[in-house]
């Protein structure tokens, strides 16, 4: 019992020394076209497998050591990778991401959702595979009782892996909705442009579950019904604006 307690203590000391030995890379992430900051960018240390996300002001902080490779990725932008050098640990390291351009030919809507999804799952294979739970993947069928492993389950790295997995799964769902409800296709069907199109896309963006359970024909009916609802709701607002203009 004393030996086991001592071993656990040594492991904890080793873990905290490892964390303390790491430095942080921090800075802000910007859109190359608009110079505005980007929120929700995944920042992933390829060496330590730790991850974080940029905040509402585009700022990020991630533990890293000299020589580590950091990847910055977000749906709609081309990913970027940087190798940590000593100067990055001393000063802020800002990152600029370029938007990923998807070309649409005629009225045919194309998407690389399946290819992107497969690429993500191959790249983050160690994240997507089943992670050890509080029992450390041990169940009664492998022996008497259940072996509880709280140190591995509640460790910083295990928590980061679970957060990244949830984030990646959410990205896949959002990407699938974008593929099923693309802005250019909706614009062609509805005839909406500019602010009206943006408002329609925001108000009637379907859920991931709806997109999965309905085919393209059902989506056409959905858009048609929502367009009638949109125009009906938009007419009183337009009349009110017109009356105000006449009164002036």
pLDDT of residue 14: 54
Separation CA 74–CA 97 (nearest Å): 9
Q: pLDDT band at 167, cuts 50/70/90? A: confident
Is residue 243 scored above 50 in pLDDT? no
Q: Which domains are delineated in the chain?
A: 23-101 (2.60.40.1120), 110-180 (no CATH), 181-247 (no CATH)
Q: pLDDT tens-digit profile of 77-100?
A: 888 899 999 989 998 999 999 887
Task: Select from 76, 100, 80, 99 the least CA-distant residue to 27.
Answer: 80
Mean pLDDT (the chain, rounded): 75
Full-model pTM: 0.39
pLDDT of residue 143: 46
64 strand-pairing partners: 23
């Amino acid at each position: 019992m004393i030996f086991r307690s001592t071993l656990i203590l040594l492991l904890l000391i080793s873990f905290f020394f490892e964390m303390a030995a790491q430095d942080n890379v921090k800075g802000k992430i910007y859109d190359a076209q608009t110079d505005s900051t980007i929120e929700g960018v995944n920042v992933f240390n390829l060496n330590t497998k730790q991850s974080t996300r940029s905040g509402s002001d585009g700022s990020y902080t991630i533990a890293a050591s000299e020589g580590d490779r950091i990847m910055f990725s977000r749906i709609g932008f081309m990913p970027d990778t940087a190798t940590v050098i000593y100067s990055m640990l001393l000063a802020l390291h800002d990152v600029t991401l370029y938007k990923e351009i998807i070309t649409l030919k005629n009225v045919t809507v194309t998407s690389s959702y399946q290819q992107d999804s497969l690429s993500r799952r191959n790249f983050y294979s160690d994240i997507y595979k089943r992670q050890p739970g509080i029992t450390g993947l041990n169940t009664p069928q492998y022996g008497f009782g259940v072996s509880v492993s709280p140190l591995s389950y509640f460790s910083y790295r295990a928590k980061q892996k679970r957060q990244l997995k949830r984030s990646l799964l959410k990205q896949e769902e959002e990407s699938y909705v974008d593929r099923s409800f693309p802005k250019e296709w909706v614009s062609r069907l509805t005839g909406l442009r500019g602010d009206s199109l943006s408002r329609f896309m925001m108000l009637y963006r379907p859920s991931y579950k709806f997109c999965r359970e309905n085919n393209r024909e059902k989506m056409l009916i959905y858009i048609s019904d929502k367009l009638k609802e949109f125009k009906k709701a938009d007419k009183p607002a337009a009349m009110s604006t017109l009356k105000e203009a006449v009164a002036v």
